[in-house]
Amino acid sequence: MRLSVVRFGKYKGKTLPEIIARDPDWFAWVLPKLYGKLAEEAEELYRKARAIKIPKRKGKKILIEYRYDIDNRFCGFEFVKASSWQSRYSLRLPYLDLTWRLGEKKYNKRGGRIMIQDFRRNYFGKSKRLTKKRCERFFSNDKNFLC
C-alpha cells in the first residue's frame, strides 16, 4: 500500500500514519480540511486510530484505562485487568482510541504528547521510536484494529 505524503503545513513531507503517531490533535484538526485521495486515506486512518485492539494477554480480560487528574487533565493510559479497582478519575474501554478527547480543550498539546508516549511504550516497547516504517507498518496491518 502506497501512502500519500502531506505537501503542506508543519508536517510537510510526512505520511498520515507518521502524523497521527506524532500529533493526533493536529491530525483531527486538519482532517476536515483535506480532500481527494489524501482525505480518503485520512478518513480510513482516523477510523483505525479510534479502534486499536488491546494486545492479547494470556487469557486475561484486559481493558484500556484512561487516567485523569482532579482537574480533569489527561494523565495517560495503561492496560489493566478488567476486574481491578477503578478510580473515579479514570475511564475504561475495551480498545484504544488515539483521538480520545484529551480533556475539555479542543487542542491539548500536553495530553496529546502523553497519549503518544503511552502508545509508543505500550504497543512498541519503552525503548522503541515511532519511526516512519513502524508507524506505516502498524497502521497498514488490519489485525491491529477492531474495524
Return the percentage of the chain with pLDDT > 70, whole number: 93
> Which residues does 91 contact at the CB level (< 8 Å), separation at least 6?
65, 66, 68
Q: Give mean pLDDT, residues 18-28.
A: 88
Instruction: Give the β-pairing of 62-68 and 90-93.
Output: antiparallel
> What amino acid is encoded at 80 in this protein?
V
pLDDT value of position 66: 95
Give the strand order in the sheet containing 74-81. 74-81, 62-68, 90-93
Q: What is the pLDDT of residue 103?
A: 46
Query: Is residue 123 predicted with pLDDT exceeding 90?
Result: yes
Percentage, residues of the chain above pLDDT 90: 59
> Between 101 and 12, whose confidence is greater?
12
Residue 4's region, left for phi above 0, alpha for psi from -120 to 50, else beta, is beta
DSSP 81: E
State how far the Cα of 49 lies from the Cα of 99, in Å rounded to an integer: 7
Residue among 109, 103, 117, 97 nearest 50 (CA): 97
pTM of the predicted model as reported, rounded to 2 decimal places: 0.87
Write out the DSSP string of 99-138: TS--SSSS--HHHHHHHHHHHHHHHT-TT----HHHHHHH
Indicate whether 19 pLDDT > 70. yes
Lowest mean pLDDT among 1-5, 102-106, 134-138: 102-106
Residue 144: pLDDT band (50, 70, 90) is very high
| Rounded Cα distance, 79 and 65, in Å | 6
